[in-house]
Structure 1
Amino acid sequence: MGDTRLLQGRYRLEELIGRGGMGEVWRATDEALGRRVAVKCLKPLGPQQDRNFGTVLRERFRREARVAAALQHRGVTVVHDFGESDGLLFLVMELLEGRNLSQLLEDNQQHPLPVHDVVDIAEQVADALAHTHRQGVVHRDLKPANIMRLDDGTVKICDFGIARLGADIGFTARLTGTGIAMGTPHYMSPEQISGGHVDHRSDLYSLGCVLYEIATGVPPFDLDDAWAILVGHRDTPPEPLRNHRAELPEFFERAVLDLLAKTPDGRPTDATDLRRRIIAARPAPAAVFPAPFPLAPRAPHLPSWTRGMTTGHKAVGTLLPYTAPPPDPAAGLTGAWTPPAHQPATDRPGTDLAVPAPPGDDRRRTDPPATDRPSADRPRTDLPRPDRPRTDPAGPDRLVTDRPRTDCPRTDLAGPDRTVPGRVHAPVPRVVAHLDGRHSAGLSLGRLGRWDEAGKVHRSVAAEREHALGPDHPDTLTSRYEAGFALTRTGRDTDALREFGRVAEGRARALGPDHPDTLAARQEMAFVLGRLGRHAEAHRVYTSVLDARTRTLGADHPDTLRCRHNLACTLGRLGRPEEAYRTACDVAAARARLLGPEHPDTLVTRYEVAYTLGQLDRWTEALRTYREVASARARALGPDHPDTLAARHEAGIALGRLGRGDEALELYRDLVATRTRVHGPDHPETLRARHGLGVNLGRLGRWQDALVEARDVCAIRERVLGPDHPDTLVSCREVAVALGWLGLWAEALAAYERVAEARDRVLGATHPDALASRGDEAHCLQQLGRRTEAVELYRRVAELRGRDGGHWKAGADACYEGP
């Protein structure tokens, strides 16, 4: 570092607290906020790297840093900031007070940790990995030095995203002067060693190595040189843990040995499975098929980069005698799925049912706001919703995790002799592998935003899996789940609701009604019910799911808090803003306590708090909260991140509500420029910012300018989104508002009629938005002196509103800000 001690004029480096293959870690002070942080400074590129490589690396670093910053779990180290100073890339993280597992082993004089600590560490790490894997993030370098146990007992995983950067720079699995910088042989999976495809199951293998070591005092393969270690990982079954330490529970030994299966398909499906087995403390299933690799080393073929490798560093320095166990023809487990019999599957010992449970939580709200101008200046979602004319009040970050993707779950069938209920023969492995590959292809199409194609693939795979595996097999239900999600992204909410309902019913039969996967499917049902405007039903489902999650996981579990967050959103949709506000405040406080005040989950809920304050007409407090959220997101995610820009957009709405039109106008001009630069001039987010700009031009009495802006935005939206899209109709109405203020009532009437007819056609004549449009039309008729027609239309609207007919005019007047 030389004499440079201040990065970007903000982070004061004070004490070097660690050094590794990727660089140095410093204890530092964030002078802008006055808090203590840890700063990891990445090792600078060597002179052999060209300038283009450096540019690519910097972009990759920013992308990986954003991924790490977006991870939302108390078991993952929080990333506050990242940047570059004089060519030095750095990450700013929370400062952890504690010891990593390697240090704990050394503190324990090279002896294994107490059994209760080992089991607790295993459960916490499994919980954190389950979350990150659901986000599609693989660590790739899990080892004792990357797992911290804090002074209060909390366990955190460090350095997500750094391993892949190391591969770019050339550190991963390469020999250095002091050994292996990353991918230390003691913790590498067989697929890493062979240079094969690496997914979340490689992390499970590395976790098995870590747990083996902290439970026994030695890694599973602790031989004299790296070559022997790599061969051991690839070909040799590990010695049972209780040969080293008889006091270890049998269920724990079985779980760790399952993690150390040679092939990814032989390991538990995901980390959730491991955590459940630890909690249940039951024996694992019996072995059912021979180990796929020879058990004795024999002239192995390993990648060329392994030649001449040394062992590098492991967590402890003491080597215990290692004796390879005799060949075991039954080595390796399938964790085969079996259907429920006389009792729920989760109550039967020896079942391995878990599939990756897509969280489906804190999904973006798409329901109309209870504000006086329901769609004039609220941002919409990124989903086309022909059946919902109003735009989303919350903006893009109403979604905590935008449906993180996971790799295709394995199908746990060992071979042709395995049977599935209702079928005489199980499919041959190549059929199962083919379906797995197509499932992964569907996920890839979704990641590319090609949701229609992804949905077709998932529906086809679901049908074939149902034929081959049965309707309630986890793989079949996972494909149906993905098909349902793709349907929501293409606006087919009714079909999606039907699909999620089938998944929820199937998982309830196979896994039990309170299983996390069952609850995830039911929560997706609640989300879609809200999209369909069936908020009372959504409320009932959310309440039921919340009760189950509170009962099984506890009130402060992240999944429980996500469900409570969604319930707060739904309460607002039901016109119960006080309850929504109290619930959102409680969730925000719990998340701040558990995750930190600037964790993304905490900020999402604070965003919801601000929204409910707006519903309660407490705009001064709402503005302050939106600004605080925007500032925190700018620090954590960057000033151009969609979530940061969404919070700024909401701050502009609050300024307009407070009559501070000049400030709102300046904010929206800057937002339009940023959105244009980041997304392009025709992107829906850019158009939403332009819409807000036009609304505030009108608030300042600049109606001619407002009309020009509204017409331009309306024309682009019609071309990009379609003539009946909710956002297009919002802009069309804004054109009518401006025409009315300019006294051009005949033209205004034509625009109002167009909006009303489209909403009648798409939503139905009794929908609140359609009725509001008819109210606009009646008001315009009244301004044109066509009072008889206006009265008749008023009467028809009142009849359709039913009991609320006496109050409809006030609502129409509130929607229409005309003269």
Structure 2
Amino acid sequence: MNDPTVSDDPLKTGGAFGSGLGESAFPEDGKGSLIGQHVGNVRIVEFIGAGGMGEVYLGMDERLDRKVAVKVLSPGLRVSDDVRNRFYREARILSRLDHRSICRLYDLVDSSDSPCLLLEYLDGRPLGELVGSLSEEEILDIGIQVAQALAAAHREGVIHRDLKPDNIMVMADGTVKILDFGIGRLIEDIGPEPVLPAEPAHPKAHCGDTPTIQGAIIGTPRYMSPEQALGEPVTPATDVFSLGIVLFVLLEARSPYATEDAMALLAMIPTVRIEEPPSASPALRNFIMRLLGKDPMERPTAGEAVAGLNRIQEAPQRKRRRIWASAAVFIGVAALVGALVGGRILGEGRYRCRGFERHLEDIWDPGIQEALGSGYQSIGRDHTWSLLQPVFEDYSRQWLTLREDVCQSTWIQREQTPELLDLEVECLDQHLQSMASLLLVLAEDPAATVDRAVQAALALPSMEPCLNADLVRSRVPLPEDPEVRRRVAEARKGIADARALYDTGKYPRGWDVLDSLDPSIRSLEYKPLSALSDYVRGLLLEKLGEIRQAEDVLKEALLEAEVGRDDRLSAQAWIRLVWIRGVVLTDMERIDETIEFAHAALGRLGDDPELEGALANHQSILMMIRGDKQGALDFCMEALRLRKLAFGDSHPKVASTLQNCANVLAEMGDAEGALELAGESLDMRMELLGPIHPSVYISLEGVADILNDLGRKEEALQLRQKAI
């Protein structure tokens, strides 16, 4: 091929967008010469930018009352046949394309002097400005949209040939637009590239991103495919390779090549082995390397790229509705908060979905952490704080992750309505209040709550139901009156305080809090609120020994939950009634009917392993009361399965269920099986709650009893001494 010479693209204007064009290659006095003139129905009102040999203006279509971008050849430029044909080719290409992620052509206005294109006006930011500021989830979203646009172009027989971040616009709502098909080509025209006259590069051009015309080579070196760098005919696979480079650059904020010199790049691209992007997740890393295959025939098509990126995005561990579970494993709360406040904003939608960490400033702040840490240290329970702190950090992290996630689903992905977002946020904020109330109770008297602190923190309500759209929509909405809403929020805070007192064993104080709130709650006549209050009142009455009154209050909570359409609270109340009637009162005449109602309530929820596990656990104990040991074991093992599904393999409720199952096996005469489960429960409680927790003492006694039954009396004695 000819000696390559880098030059500016004769028609490179940066596309039809309103900002971020960079410096022009033209003298200042050449700019803006068309302002005030008309092109058909379009009045040119503002100069936007220039590059190469073209200019872009903002125009107003006075007939349709809309903004357009007007792309023209620079004044004074000699319009050769080659240049004019290039301009027409861009119009011909754009006329074939009608896709939401491709800048639209409205019209080609021809004249004897100079043609111009009327294009969709895009008020966004070039993707190049966002390099280094995007998360992998955002990069996946952008990559899918770009691949969809390429697939649409390829179906119409169009190859872009110059895909790069500066030719991709990100709009305020997070949608993507591909620009500048000025050097694009129709598949039907594929063959040797036309040899265009080379020009000296503009002195301010950056070589790595400069469009090149080198004998038979046209494109931007950094993003070229091997076949493109060799001057061979391009195919749709060329654009796919460029997409792989774009994804690499977005992930790593740098080129995959060791040089930015255009000539060196052209020599390097066909043979160099591109490193894997280290910042990418394994699945995305492997897929990018497929996009970057040297052989065009081995690369995925653009349509296959859409499917592949979608599979990565929709993998179970990445799914939006389960992101909280993986967040707890992968990132600390400080890292997440840093990402939220440090990342650059991707349009207006991204701006809406930042800064939620401010809601934690007065809840999980250094002051309360210091108070708790020093409080436990003063009573010689440092280990409790070391166990408790990560639980609250995980809960904070889950809340932040989900709060941003539901926002993005509304304002960026446009997957749901603002009305649903309001319901999800209302639910998430109630969970955050639960954490705030518990922290205040623990900090107030660490010594009195130390034995229940970790269990109470681990019992904070799961946030996953907040993402159940059917569930949050079904509940009676908040009243419209702002003053009533304020009073509801105050009452919810009081109920959360009472629940925190219940979870930490302060039953009389919890009752006093709710008793003082009751007149205000009743006056609001908002059934979801009074149902929640009565449910917590029922729990407190049970612990205070008022069992019959607890049953009556829980029945009242059921009726209010039905009127308020709070299906989950209704199921919780039925399950608690199973416990009270069956286990506490042993009222066998009504228990079967109560269980049926509990199952019916659960059926309205769909899958809810937390509540299903609680009911199965109660039924296991009921079977033992009735003398059905095999039935007890079956229900216990089902409860164990469900609770592991709900809470993970290590949780106090899992440990408690293991101990229950061990007790059943011991009653059935299977001491070896009982010892295995009881030992597992003991180890779990030691790890979760610390070696001197009362639950650990109970487990030690349980294991000692089983060892004694097995005739291993010396080991049993040692365990009892350890418990003492």
Please tell me whether Structure 1 or Structure 2 has the larger radius of gyration of its CA atoms.
2
- TM-score past 0.5 threshold: no
TM-score where L is the length of structure 1: 0.37
Name whichever structure is richer in helix by fraction.
Answer: 2
Greater length-normalized contact order (CA 8 Å, ≥ 6 residues apart): 1
